[in-house]
Amino acid sequence: MNCEECKQRPATVHLTKIFNNQKTELHLCEECAKHHDDIPFNLSFSMEPNFSIQKFLAGLLESVTVSASDAGSTSAGNGAGSAPASGYSPGVEDPDEAAEEALAAAPHCSNCGMTYSQFERIGRFGCSQCYQSFAGQFEPLLRRVQGNSRHTGKAPLRTGENLGYKREIEQLRQELQAAISAEAYERAAALRDQIHALEGKLSSEK
Amino acid sequence: MSIQETLNNAFTKWMEGEGPEARIVISSRVRLARNLAGQLFPHLMSQETGQAVVRLVQDAIADPAVREKLGPLFYAPLNDLSLLERQILMEKHLISPQHAQDEQAPRGVILRPDEAVSIMVNEEDHLRVQVLLPAFQLEAAWRMANLVDDVLESKLDFAFDEQYGYLSCCPTNVGTGLRASVMMHLPALAMTNQASGVFTALSKVGFVVRGFYGEGTEAKGNLFQVSNQLTLGLSEIEILDRLMTVSRQVIEQEQMGRRSLMKERPSQIEDMVFRAYGILTNARLLNSEETMFYLSCLRLGIDLGLLHNVSNRTLNELLVRTRAAYLQGDNKGAMDAFNRSLKRAAIIRKALAPDPGAQNNRSGPESLT
Ligand SMILES: [Zn+2]
Ligand SMILES: [Zn+2]
């Protein structure tokens, strides 16, 4: 949306003005907002009215998966939609057949039955196992949404101890590489011993 | 302790109005999203699977070891409450707007009697542990939420993955499942047109600004909630540290704004504060929007030392007592907008009336020289 005043810059300031129970909305760019008469009293600012994380995410999902390997199911969907012989009103796919075909063809979560394209549509998973079921497909999305794909925070106590060791081992391995490239062999030997000791703790717990 | 008491009493822990940075920060919130391993997420649940999750959670909080560590907690099934009653819980910030609206799976809320801890059951995730404290107390809120999480985890099998962390229904919550927020009153930033710039900057460093009732709500009454956007990749402590750092910057900016307003436009500010006081103590009809605005003026007036006979606690309580659902608590939803405005104005006049005991010494705002 462009600014209502200059009609050039994008509107970033959204004002809702209420006077005598009359609600008027005003969308301005920052420049024009600065000089507007109605500011500053009895107004409320909002960053983006009706902003919805889910819609935003659905948008992101679309842009991420255009290049992904989902092309097969997309063309199948189009085919069903444009089939002229269908007795349904235009634009409505045969719900049963299309759904069944898609489900049979598309990989889905074995625990909850959700397919990746269903996830794309609603922006939510069906169960915790979906994360494993779709790991390969949604990693790029995760990087885009979260800027990262690796948890470094708290872990439940029961898995936490092992995870702590694993993270420590990972850290030591990196130091070991650095020590080797720096030809600090004594340090490298000490690090290797530490790693072995931690690995021992890991396996003994399993 | 019963849900009825919670519904009848507008006051709740976060409204205390005292604590670190209480002149600007209304409340601090920490929320953790947790799910039970293998169970369908609430949006796919049948009545039976939803009920099964509720039972597991109820058993967990009834466990003597849990009660010993967390004190008594009680479960209130939301399916037994009317929409209006659920909205009251939402207006008190004990449950989310979504949880109040939702009519599907069996769902509820677990409350500690002081309402500082509330756990939504079967919202978007199976559990949303929330700790809400007055003023700028993010660390204390985190310690409490972390404890609740530790204790619940000893009884419940939470879905956790070594790479992705705590698994949530929506990938925007995965990892720590932590959403921390600070509710701030920022009239000076709004009046000096700095608000949008500050918020744009915040959004560029990973923070989201929302209104008083969270996602999708407008910032009414100059109340803004700043929270972390990302939940994966950073540890809980890193997320909280960053939020505290940016919050302090916003607080500082607001303080500077207030000082310069008082220096450059003292008469306009005084007029604004006392005009608001005059309206709130005399008006017979007040709609919710103008109420939020005038309450904001009073809050500013208290901080600037212009008003002495009103407390932040009273204002916090009024924020909730003047909301649509709370207003008609005993009218079972039959009250129209006109009658709400009438009752709202009456409640405010009564709440702001000078303390009868102090009436001899002081009436109305202290006069300015
Ligand atoms: Zn413009
Ligand atoms: Zn699944």
Mind listing the pLDDT tens digit for each residue in B279-323? 999 999 999 889 999 999 999 999 999 999 999 999 999 998 998
- The count of other CB atoms within 10 Å of the CB of residue B169 is 26
> What average pLDDT does this structure show over B167-185?
96
B96, B124: one domain: yes
Whether the per-residue pLDDT at A107 is higher than 60: the answer is yes
Domain count, chain B: 2
B185, B136: one domain: yes
CB contact under 8 A, A44 and B230: no
Distance CA B70, CA A122 (A): 36
Whether the per-residue pLDDT at B359 is higher than 60: the answer is no
Q: What is the pLDDT of residue B217?
A: 52
| Dihedral over Cα of B12, B18, B19, B24: its sign | positive
CB contact under 8 A, B215 and A53: yes
Q: What is the pLDDT of residue A16?
A: 61
CB contact under 8 A, A44 and B158: no
Least confident stretch, A38-47, A49-58, B142-151, B298-307: A38-47
Task: Give tens-digit pLDDT for B29-40.
Answer: 999 999 999 899
Q: Does residue B280 sit within a domain?
A: yes
What's the CATH number where B39 sits?
Answer: 3.30.590.10
Domain of residue B19 covers 3-259
Which ligand neighbours the alpha carbon of A10 most closely? 1
Whether the per-residue pLDDT at A74 is higher than 50: the answer is no
ipTM: 0.84
Q: What residues of A are in contact with residue B159 (Cβ under 8 Å)?
A: 128
- Amino acid in position B36: L
Q: Which of B31, B2, B26, B32 is nearest to B13 (CA)?
A: B26
Q: What residues of B are in contact with residue A148 (Cβ under 8 Å)?
A: 175, 230, 232-234
> By the 8 A CB rule, do A115 and A108 touch?
yes
Whether the per-residue pLDDT at B13 is higher than 60: the answer is yes
Q: Does residue B295 sit within a domain?
A: yes
Q: Does residue B161 sit within a domain?
A: yes
Q: Does residue B367 sit within a domain?
A: no
B221, B288: one domain: no
Residues 112-151 of A with CB under 8 A from B: 112, 114, 122-129, 131-132, 138, 141-142, 145-151
Distance CA B226, CA B203 (A): 10
Q: What is the pLDDT of residue B205?
A: 82
B243, B130: one domain: yes
**d(CA A28, nearest CA chain B) in Å:** 11
Least confident stretch, A189-203, B175-189, B308-322: A189-203
Q: Does residue B21 sit within a domain?
A: yes
- Which strands make up the sheet holding B117-121, listed edge to edge? B74-77, B108-111, B117-121, B127-134, B25-34, B178-185, B223-228, B207-210
Q: Does residue B334 sit within a domain?
A: yes
Cα B238 to middle of ligand 1, angstroms: 38
Q: What is the pLDDT of residue A203?
A: 53
Contacts of B311 (CB under 8 A, 6+ apart): B17, B302
Q: What residues of B are in contact with residue A156 (Cβ under 8 Å)?
A: 153, 158, 160
B281, B252: one domain: no
Whether the per-residue pLDDT at A69 is higher than 50: the answer is no
Q: What is the pLDDT of residue B39?
A: 94
The fraction of chain B above a pLDDT of 70, given in percent, is 93
Q: What is the pLDDT of residue B368?
A: 43
B297, B216: one domain: no
Q: What is the pLDDT of residue A151?
A: 92
pLDDT classification of A71: cutoffs 50, 70, 90: very low
**d(CA A32, nearest CA chain B) in Å:** 11
Q: Does B170 touch chain A (CB under 8 A)?
A: yes
Cα A59 to middle of ligand 1, angstroms: 27
CB contact under 8 A, B235 and A159: no
Q: Which of B69, B207, B50, B219 is nearest to B144 (CA)?
A: B69
**d(CA A63, nearest CA chain B) in Å:** 16
Residues 298-327 of B with CB under 8 A from A: none
**d(CA B76, nearest CA chain A) in Å:** 25
Closest residue of B to A38, CA-based? B191
B170, B77: one domain: yes
Q: What is the pLDDT of residue A126?
A: 95
Contacts of B344 (CB under 8 A, 6+ apart): B286, B287, B288, B291, B322, B327
pLDDT classification of A88: cutoffs 50, 70, 90: very low
**Could you tell me which residue, A11 or A133, shows the higher pLDDT?**
A133
> What average pLDDT does this structure show over A55-63?
46
Which residue of A126, A151, A158 is in closest CB contact with B163? A151
Q: What residues of A are in contact with residue B146 (Cβ under 8 Å)?
A: 154
Q: Does B357 touch chain A (CB under 8 A)?
A: no
Whether the per-residue pLDDT at B140 is higher than 60: the answer is yes
Q: What is the pLDDT of residue B59?
A: 95
| CA separation, residue B365 to residues A142, B18, B221 (Å) | 55, 21, 21
> What average pLDDT does this structure show over A134-156?
87
The SS3 call for residue A94 is coil
Q: Does B233 touch chain A (CB under 8 A)?
A: yes
Q: Does A73 touch chain B (CB under 8 A)?
A: no
Q: What is the pLDDT of residue B41?
A: 96
> What average pLDDT does this structure show over B125-129?
97
Q: What residues of A are in contact with residue B175 (Cβ under 8 Å)?
A: 146, 148, 151, 153
Distance CA B236, CA B144 (A): 13
B156, B214: one domain: yes
Domain boundary, last residue among B259, B281, B315 = B259
B105, B190: one domain: yes
B219, B315: one domain: no
Phi-psi region of A42 (alpha: psi -120 to 50; beta: other; left: phi over 0): left
Q: Does residue B175 sit within a domain?
A: yes
**Could you tell me which residue, B315 or A205, shows the higher pLDDT?**
B315
> What average pLDDT does this structure show over B4-25?
92
> What average pLDDT does this structure show over A56-71?
40
pLDDT classification of B199: cutoffs 50, 70, 90: confident
Q: Does A90 touch chain B (CB under 8 A)?
A: no
- Residue A10, preceding peptide bond in cis (omega within 30° of 0): no
DSSP state of A78: H
Task: Give tens-digit pLDDT for B92-117.
Answer: 999 998 899 888 789 999 999 999 99
Encoded tokens for B176:
């720590």
Mean of all residue pLDDT scores within chain B: 89
pLDDT classification of B364: cutoffs 50, 70, 90: very low
Whether the per-residue pLDDT at A169 is higher than 50: the answer is yes
pLDDT classification of B358: cutoffs 50, 70, 90: very low
**d(CA A95, nearest CA chain B) in Å:** 19
Phi, psi at A182, each rounded to 5° = -85, 5
Whether the per-residue pLDDT at A56 is higher than 60: the answer is no
B23, B71: one domain: yes
Domain boundary, last residue among B203, B237, B259 = B259
Domain boundary, last residue among B224, B244, B259 = B259
Q: What is the pLDDT of residue B113?
A: 93
Q: What residues of A are in contact with residue B216 (Cβ under 8 Å)?
A: 50-52
Whether the per-residue pLDDT at B331 is higher than 80: the answer is no
Q: Does residue B369 sit within a domain?
A: no
Q: What is the pLDDT of residue B121?
A: 97
Q: Does A104 touch chain B (CB under 8 A)?
A: no
pLDDT classification of A97: cutoffs 50, 70, 90: low
Cα A126 to middle of ligand 2, angstroms: 5
- Which strands make up the sheet holding A22-28, listed edge to edge? A22-28, A13-19, A43-46
B34, B121: one domain: yes
CB contact under 8 A, B176 and A153: yes
Whether the per-residue pLDDT at A93 is higher than 70: the answer is no
Least confident stretch, A65-74, A191-200, B215-224, B307-316: A65-74
